[in-house]
Structure 1
Amino acid sequence: MDTPQPLYSAKSVRELDRRTIAALKIPSIALMKRAGRAAFVHLQQRWPDAKRIQVFCGGGNNGGDGYVIAALAAQKQIPVVVFACVEPQKLKGDALEACEYARREGVHIVTSLAELDSADGDTVIVDALLGTGFAGELRAPVGHAVERINKSMGAVLAVDIPSGLSADNGSAGQAVSADLTVTFIGRKLGLHCGRGPALCGQVVYENLGAPESLLAEVEPLAQRFDGASVRRLAPRAADSYKNQFGHVLVVGGDSGYGGAALMAAESAARSGAGLISLATRPEHLAAALTRCPEVMAHPVISGQELEPLLEGPDVIAVGPGLGRAPWGEQLLARAGRAEVPLVLDADALNTLAGGRVLAGLRRDDWVLTPHLGEAARLLGCDVAEVLSDPRAAASAIQQKFSGVVILKGAGTLIAHDGGVDLINSGNPGMASGGMGDLLTGIVAGLIGQHLSPLEAARLGVWLHGEAGNRAAEKGQRGLLATDLLPHIRQLVD
């Protein structure tokens, strides 16, 4: 199993830069030239037929990287022009030295957007306006430059980070939308969560020769897991039997929402759980037995009728289709006190946020799986506040309720007692009803197979997203939650 990748704040990356320069015993301009060269190599690999390059440079080190790229393009006799947001005579330090390097190579530098030709499809635009130190709202002339970049026809490479995107939390107002981001020294959390996945395009990491040992010297904000770094299930012995792989009880499916609970039950089964029970409204039994006869479906009309069903399972998933009526509140109240691990989703979270059911309850053995809206309700804030710092929101929910918290999104965050993990998997086609119900069932099914809640959360999020990617090979639009089920089964082995 590979180790996860550390994700850093802007402040931590600046410290890594300083330590890298000291460890390599090189001047800072040499590291800047390494960065520019690495970005230029990726530009040529991605767009080998580029006819011209436009480089948008700011006044700091990010702009200096841009001037280096422009100089290298000129050396290759690729037509290149630099738009300078800060007049060259006002530059200082390494940025000034990089600008002079570009001038020596004959790079044409303009200081007005009116002097730039329109970028067509044969043009590659390099965004070197703002680096990781940016925070707040864009101001002129940078804001005008970003608007120009985003309206252009050219492909866009962002140097280190798209201008306008927060390296710390992925928040963004006006920001560059890039096709490729080449980032250096330390991976930034903001590239992988919040607006980061939508703005960065493909992310390529270059360590610029920094010793790997340096990464352990600086505290990261989060750890990034992928399919190689999550714990997988052990192979089954030849004499295995169903009771060894967990009994999952799914509780949910109020009137009109029976499909949600059934999808959670079926995904728990497809993830390998040995036995699946479903407690739902009586009118959903026929559909459940028809759709998935392997599920042991039970009609319940009250919390009292649920009570006997709580004695057998090894893990209980509550929430898919649960609703917020008294029926759902009764079921959550009973299931929430069961002495087995829990997975809570959807209206179980909304009811928990309301404070009338399970008020003040903290459990180390439950997994909460909110999307942005549910996270906002759990914290008593609005969605914009969650979006402004998803990592902080996930951590705040975990501190309030304990256990493991999965904050779902393009960069899903998993908060736990030891910190925060991030997993990038899935695709925009998964923005459709029922996807969260599948994740609930998968995580419950993995807990039933003896993974800890945290291990089940990590593997479950990756499995869910990767199954979505495989299902989307036939197209993202029109992708249904149930399209993922056969891929879940293939991936879980």
Structure 2
Amino acid sequence: MDIPQPLYSAESVRELDRRTIAALRIPSISLMKRAGRAAFTQLLARWPEAGRLQVFCGGGNNGGDGYVIAALAAERQIPVTVYACVEPQKLSGDAAEAFRYAGQEGVQVVTSLAELDSADANTVIVDALLGTGFSGAVREHMAQAIERINRAPAPVLAVDMPSGVEADSGFAETAVQADVTVTFIGRKFGLFCGRGAALSGEVVFAGLGAPDSVYRDEQPLAQRYGAASVPRLPRRPADAYKNQFGHVLVVGGDRGFGGAAMMAAESAARTGAGLVSLATRPEHLPAALTRCPEVMARPVISGQELEPLLDSPSVVAVGPGLGREPWGEQLLARAARADVPVVLDADALNILAGGRVLAGHRRDDWVLTPHVGEAARLLGWETNEVLADPRTAAQAIQQKFSGVVILKGAGTLIAHEGGVDLINSGNPGMASGGMGDLLTGIVAALIGQHMPLPKAARLAVWLHGEAGNRAAADGQRGLLATDLLPWVRKLVD
């Protein structure tokens, strides 16, 4: 199993830059030229037939990288024009030296968008406007340049970060949509989370020759897990029997929402739980038995009737289709106090956020799986506040309720006592009803198979997303949650 990728803040990357320059004993302009060359090499590899380049340069080191790219293009006699969003005479330090380098190679520089020819399909645009230091609102002249880039019928390579994306959070309002982002020295957290994950395109990492020693003791914001680094279940022994692999009890399915609880139960079964039970409204039993007879469906009309059912399972998942009526509140109040690990989703989280049930309740052995709106309710925040800083939101929920928190999104975050993990898995076709119910069942089944909670969360998120990718191989639109189930079974084994 490979190690996860550390994701750094802008401040940490500046420190890594400083350490790299010191370790390699080179001037800072040499590191800038390495960055420019790394980006230019990627550009040529992706678009070898590029007829010309347009490079949009800002006033900082990101703009300096852009001037280096322009100079390298001119050296290869590729037609190139730079739009200088900041007047060249205002440049200083390495950016000014990079501008002089471009000038020596005869690069054409314009300072007005009106002077810039329209890009066409033979053009490659290089975004070097705003780098890792950006935060807040994009200024008007930069916004106009970003709009020009996004309107062009040409591919875009972003240097280090797509302009307008915050490196520490992935938050963006006005931002460049890149096809490829080449990032240097350290992978920035914001490339893989929130809007940043959608705007960065394919992210290519260039270490620029930084030795391993520069990363020592530099704390990342998160660890990024993928197919090669998520934990996996061990192979089952030849003499295995069902009681070795956990008994999942799914609690939910109020009137009108029976399908959510059924899908959670079936996904737990397909993920390998030895036994799966379902506690739901009596009227849902015929459908549940027809849909998946392997699930032991039990009727419950009150929290009192749920009580004896809590003696048998090794993990309880509560929330799918639970509703917010007294029936759901009673069931949650009982289920959340079970003596086994608990997974909370959907209306269980909304009831918890309301504070009337389980006020002040904390557990080390539960997993909370909110989307952005549920996360906002759990914290008493506005949704935009969660979107602006999802990592802080995930950590705040974990600190408030303990346990493990899975904050679902484009770049799902897993907050636990040991830190924050990030997993990019899945596709836009999964933005449909029932997907969260499947994830709940997967998490519960993995816990039932004796995975520690943080590991179960990592594998569940990756498995869920990858199953979605496989199921969407012939198209994302119209993808249903149950389309993932055959792939969940194949991938978990």
Measured after TM superposition, the shift of residue 228 of structure 1 is: 1.4
Q: Tell me, what secondary structure is at the counterpart of 2:205?
A: strand
Task: Report the residue type matching 1:83 in the other structure.
Answer: Y
**1:206-225 maps to which residues of 2 (within 5 A)?**
206-225=206-225
1:170 aligned partner: 170
1:181 aligned partner: 181
Tell me the distance in 1 between the aligned counterparts of 2:472 and 2:127.
31
Tell me the distance in 2 between the aligned counterparts of 1:328 and 1:201.
42
Does residue 1:107 correspond to 2:107, yes or no? yes
Tell me the distance in 2 between the aligned counterparts of 1:23 and 1:283.
69
Question: What residue ranges of structure 1 are gaps of 5+ in the alignment?
Answer: none
Tell me the distance in 1 between the aligned counterparts of 2:113 and 2:93.
25
1:413 aligned partner: 413
**1:63-212 maps to which residues of 2 (within 5 A)?**
63-212=63-212
Measured after TM superposition, the shift of residue 217 of structure 1 is: 2.5
TM-score by length of 1: 0.99
Task: Report the residue type matching 1:472 in the other structure.
Answer: A
1:328-376 Cα offsets, whole Å, 9 max, x none, are 0000000011010000000000000000111111000000000000000
Tell me the distance in 2 between the aligned counterparts of 1:469 and 1:75.
42
2:24 aligned partner: 24
Tell me the distance in 2 between the aligned counterparts of 1:109 and 1:11.
31
**1:362-441 maps to which residues of 2 (within 5 A)?**
362-441=362-441
**1:268-287 maps to which residues of 2 (within 5 A)?**
268-287=268-287
Q: Tell me, what secondary structure is at the counterpart of 2:140?
A: coil
1:81-139 Cα offsets, whole Å, 9 max, x none, are 00001121221111111111111111100000000011111111100011100111111
Tell me the distance in 1 between the aligned counterparts of 2:329 and 2:141.
54
Tell me the distance in 2 between the aligned counterparts of 1:276 and 1:247.
6
Does residue 1:316 correspond to 2:348, yes or no? no
Tell me the distance in 2 between the aligned counterparts of 1:282 and 1:214.
62
Task: Report the residue type matching 1:220 in the other structure.
Answer: P
Task: Report the residue type matching 1:144 in the other structure.
Answer: Q
Greater mean alpha carbon deviation, residues 56-65 or residues 205-214: 205-214
Task: Report the residue type matching 2:291 in the other structure.
Answer: R
Tell me the distance in 2 between the aligned counterparts of 1:65 and 1:196.
20
Tell me the distance in 2 between the aligned counterparts of 1:385 and 1:361.
24
Tell me the distance in 1 between the aligned counterparts of 2:317 and 2:58.
51
Tell me the distance in 2 between the aligned counterparts of 1:261 and 1:137.
43
Q: Tell me, what secondary structure is at the counterpart of 2:89?
A: helix
1:296 aligned partner: 296
1:340 aligned partner: 340
Measured after TM superposition, the shift of residue 453 of structure 1 is: 1.1
1:283-310 Cα offsets, whole Å, 9 max, x none, are 1111111110100000111111111100
1:185-223 Cα offsets, whole Å, 9 max, x none, are 001001111111111111111111111232232111111
Tell me the distance in 1 between the aligned counterparts of 2:460 and 2:126.
37
Q: Tell me, what secondary structure is at the counterpart of 1:451?
A: coil
1:328 aligned partner: 328
Measured after TM superposition, the shift of residue 227 of structure 1 is: 1.7
Does residue 1:447 correspond to 2:447, yes or no? yes
Measured after TM superposition, the shift of residue 261 of structure 1 is: 0.4
Tell me the distance in 2 between the aligned counterparts of 1:380 and 1:199.
28
Paired residues, number: 493
Task: Report the residue type matching 1:272 in the other structure.
Answer: G
1:246 aligned partner: 246
2:39 aligned partner: 39
* Runs of 4+ more than 4 Å apart: none
Tell me the distance in 2 between the aligned counterparts of 1:168 and 1:137.
15
1:351 aligned partner: 351
Tell me the distance in 2 between the aligned counterparts of 1:140 and 1:294.
61
Root-mean-square deviation over aligned CA pairs: 0.7
Q: Percent identity?
A: 78
1:316-336 Cα offsets, whole Å, 9 max, x none, are 000000000010000000001
Q: Tell me, what secondary structure is at the counterpart of 1:409?
A: coil
Task: Report the residue type matching 2:315 in the other structure.
Answer: V
Task: Report the residue type matching 1:170 in the other structure.
Answer: G
Measured after TM superposition, the shift of residue 140 of structure 1 is: 3.0
Measured after TM superposition, the shift of residue 231 of structure 1 is: 1.3
Measured after TM superposition, the shift of residue 379 of structure 1 is: 0.4
Question: What residue ranges of structure 2 are gaps of 5+ in the alignment?
Answer: none
Q: Tell me, what secondary structure is at the counterpart of 1:195?
A: helix
Tell me the distance in 2 between the aligned counterparts of 1:152 and 1:127.
12
Tell me the distance in 1 between the aligned counterparts of 2:267 and 2:327.
24
Task: Report the residue type matching 1:184 in the other structure.
Answer: F
Tell me the distance in 2 between the aligned counterparts of 1:194 and 1:216.
28
Q: Tell me, what secondary structure is at the counterpart of 1:414?
A: strand
Task: Report the residue type matching 1:192 in the other structure.
Answer: F
Measured after TM superposition, the shift of residue 154 of structure 1 is: 1.1
Tell me the distance in 2 between the aligned counterparts of 1:410 and 1:171.
12
Q: Tell me, what secondary structure is at the counterpart of 1:227?
A: coil
